[in-house]
Structure 1
Amino acid sequence: MPSSSVDIAHEQDVEHRLFSRIACDLTDKGYSVIPNALPGLLSEQLFGQIQSLHSHDFSEAGVGRSHDQTLNRFVRRDAIRWIEGDTLPEKHWLDWSGRLQTYLNRHLFLGLFSYESHFSHYRPGDFYRKHLDAFRGQTNRRLSTVAYLNPGWMPDDDGELVLFSEKGEGEILRITPAYGTLAIFLSETFPHEVLPTNRHRYSIAGWFRVNGSINDQLDPPA
């Protein structure tokens, strides 16, 4: 049944309060971790798409960017599938991320230009060693996002995301990859790693980017 105007207004209010909390967290700490952050219907749609995918729908994840990207199973062992908006769940995810981008630009003046994301699949035993998503002045990733899609995650399933201090010397927190949890942090600031998982682990990793135009060439491409 179509949503009533009351339902729509309520959903918009919930979304506004969520985005406001994220903005406040980023201002205060540089990161935000919120359980059950994703809208229920969106989580269901994305989880449904993941359930429909097969192993051959994913590609082994590389290290580095563009022509410098290589496979290094000592560093990471996950598999990915880029989100292009070709399905309804993907479109809804990109629409939701776009609204978050607009909110953060209006309230934090971050100059976020675009968003890219992919499904991530960690098989039992997979991991991703400590790394930064962006090095200062070398790439245009500004904010990293991770949304988790793992119902019934238990403590002994492991596979936590570990966030480290800016110099990488101390652990700030461990994030359980529980269904609906959203983590957002400054890409250039926080080293992080994914601990080995004991069960199949699914998430959406993404990056809000600023425009690093050089010689009138848009980066990322329009």
Structure 2
Amino acid sequence: MLCDSENDANSSLFESIAQDLRENGYSINPGALPVSLSNLLRESIGRLPDRFFSSAGVGRGQAHLHDEQVRSDDICWISDDSPAGKQWLQWASELQLYLNRRLFLGLFSFESHFARYRPGDFYQRHLDSFKGDANRVLSMVVYLNKDWSPEDGGQLVLYKDEHDDNGTCVVPEMGTVVVFLSDEFPHEVLPADRERYSIAGWYRVNTSTESRIDPPH
């Protein structure tokens, strides 16, 4: 459970994210995840056996494939069957409700996974969604790395569009929360010199029809 001060901090953070999304389409918030939740998630991913992780793929549905030339991290999907997973998904749900009220986004569901990058692992520049092609609306990344410095590498580079060659670098420090429009911001993960932990998540709209039910993933 979060204490009153952390609940107040959440309200401030959620409003900051909403304003940033409205004005810029992305929001970068260093060390903003509640400390108790950050620590719980970091402990949880650190205890996960290797067998719980699988090689990450790219694409969705029949187009899903594994390509280590594109990305080389391992992932573990998060469910609510552990205290850490339950608290994380509750926090993400509260953010979803807040953004729907403030920005009228119609966010319908949320999915997320732990990501583990070994030294040298990377994820090449990509978009999380393509306009008119998928139902991912917002992407969120949270970092779970203690005592991380820029010299350790592993930065997220967020590009404003396909013509941007410089980008904005985000150091994957503990508790940093990044949210951005899924179909507008190409991004990549640079190789790191240390093992690097994060959560990647996506808020979706509902694209179900009479003949097809849209699953979370």
- Report the TM-score, using the length of structure 2 for normalisation: 0.95
Q: State, as a whole percentage, how many aligned pairs show the same letter.
A: 51
| 1:14 matches 2:20 | no
Q: Any residues of structure 2 matched to 1:114-129 within 5 Å, and which? A: 114-129=109-124
Matches of 1:25 and 1:220 in 2, distance apart? Answer: 29
Contact 1:161–1:176 (Cα < 8 Å) also in 2 = yes
Q: Which runs of 5+ in 1 are unaligned?
A: none
For the aligned residue pairs, the C-alpha RMSD in angstroms reads 1.6
| 1:60 matches 2:89 | no
Matches of 1:124 and 1:114 in 2, distance apart? Answer: 32
Distance 1:114 1:125, change over 3 A: same
Q: Which runs of 5+ in 2 are unaligned?
A: none
Matches of 1:168 and 1:198 in 2, distance apart? Answer: 29
Q: Which residue of 2 aligns with 1:135?
A: 130
| 1:198 matches 2:202 | no
Contact 2:138–2:202 (Cα < 8 Å) also in 1 = yes
Matches of 1:84 and 1:155 in 2, distance apart? Answer: 31
The alpha carbon displacement at 1:168 in A equals 4.0
Matches of 2:7 and 2:152 in 1, distance apart? Answer: 35
Matching residue's letter, 1:35: P
Q: State the number of aligned residues.
A: 217
Contact 1:168–1:190 (Cα < 8 Å) also in 2 = no
Runs of 4+ in 1 over 4 A off after TM superposition: none
Distance 1:20 1:221, change over 3 A: closer
| 1:181 matches 2:176 | yes
Q: Which residue of 1 aligns with 2:98?
A: 103
| 2:167 alignment partner, SS class | strand
Contact 2:145–2:197 (Cα < 8 Å) also in 1 = yes
Matches of 2:125 and 2:9 in 1, distance apart? Answer: 34
Matches of 1:171 and 1:97 in 2, distance apart? Answer: 30
| CA deviation string 1:132-168 (max 9, x = no partner) | 0000011000000000000011222101000112224
- Report the TM-score, using the length of structure 1 for normalisation: 0.93
Contact 1:165–1:171 (Cα < 8 Å) also in 2 = no
The alpha carbon displacement at 1:173 in A equals 0.6
